[in-house]
């Protein structure tokens, strides 16, 4: 794929970064919520991608930062950021294998309430997130085996607060198919080729749109083009 990239300079770009993924998530929060005031914060594990990406529309629906935590303890600076934000409630995404009860206890020790959205698998967790968000007229479906396709759609799905469902490359989870059947939508967007999202998923929708490319980069470009054309 040939892409003509813009020249990045100090005048037209800047970098948000920390010494690791956890501090980077804190830096994003400090940048986007410079004046604080985030009563709700969404927290996901920083050790794997599915929960955080599926939770992007959830965080958007609460106008909340999405912070990454270690499994068994809060990273350095995490508690200070919750205090700076004036956080009153935290939503933990994922089960205790992803975020242990010790993380929940550490948050509650700060005088902040915390609850959890989780499932037996990453696929059920994504469904339960979708139930929390609510379905309007659009659903996204991407593979739960790799991060690239769900990352490509996360900003648009987050902006419109549309759920992202995850599926394995083979073997459709019943919890996902049942949710899709119970929530008919006007627009269903399947991201990735049939090796990523099996053809049987299309049968669950009326007139689904599959957006894919020869590589994750082509798929990313194809979706961006689609999003720009669709407004």
* DSSP letters for 57-110: HHHHHTT--EEEE-SSSPPTTHHHHHHHHT--EEEEES-TTTS-HHHHHHHHTT
pLDDT tens-digit map of 113-161: 999 999 999 999 999 999 999 999 999 999 999 999 999 999 999 999 9
Q: Distance between CA 144 and CA 54 in Å, rounded?
A: 10
Instruction: Name the strands in the sheet holding 66-69, side by side, starting at the edge strand that comes first in the sequence.
Output: 66-69, 40-45, 89-93, 113-117
What does each of the 231 residues of the chain score in pLDDT, given as a tens digit? 444 556 877 778 889 999 999 999 999 999 999 998 999 999 999 999 999 999 999 999 999 999 999 999 999 999 999 999 999 999 999 999 999 999 999 999 999 999 999 999 999 999 999 999 999 999 999 999 999 999 999 999 999 999 999 999 999 999 999 999 999 999 999 999 999 999 999 999 999 999 999 999 999 999 999 999 987
State the pTM of this model. 0.93
Q: Distance between CA 31 and CA 11 in Å, rounded?
A: 18
Instruction: Name the strands in the sheet holding 138-143, side by side, starting at the edge strand that comes first in the sequence.
Output: 164-167, 138-143, 187-191, 209-211
């Amino acid at each position: 794929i040939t892409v003509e990239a813009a020249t990045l300079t100090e005048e037209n770009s800047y970098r948000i970064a920390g010494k690791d993924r956890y501090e980077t998530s804190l830096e994003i929060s400090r940048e986007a919520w410079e004046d604080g005031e985030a009563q709700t914060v969404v927290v996901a594990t920083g050790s794997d991608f599915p929960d955080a990406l599926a939770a992007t529309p959830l965080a958007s629906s609460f106008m909340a930062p999405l912070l990454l935590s270690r499994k068994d303890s809060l990273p350095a600076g995490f508690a200070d950021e919750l205090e700076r934000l004036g956080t009153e409630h935290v939503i933990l995404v994922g089960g205790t294998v992803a975020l242990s009860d010790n993380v929940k206890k550490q948050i509650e020790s700060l005088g902040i309430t915390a609850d959890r959205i989780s499932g037996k698998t990453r696929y059920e967790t994504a469904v339960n997130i979708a139930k929390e968000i609510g379905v309007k007229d659009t659903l996204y479906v991407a593979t739960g085996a790799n991060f690239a396709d769900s990352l490509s759609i996360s900003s648009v799905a987050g902006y419109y607060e549309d759920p992202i469902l995850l599926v394995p490359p083979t073997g459709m989870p019943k919890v996902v198919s049942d949710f899709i059947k119970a929530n008919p939508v006007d627009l269903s967007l399947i991201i990735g080729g049939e090796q990523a999202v099996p053809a049987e998923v299309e049968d669950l929708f009326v007139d689904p749109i599959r957006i894919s490319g020869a590589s994750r980069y082509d798929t990313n470009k194809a979706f961006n083009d689609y999003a720009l054309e669709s407004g």
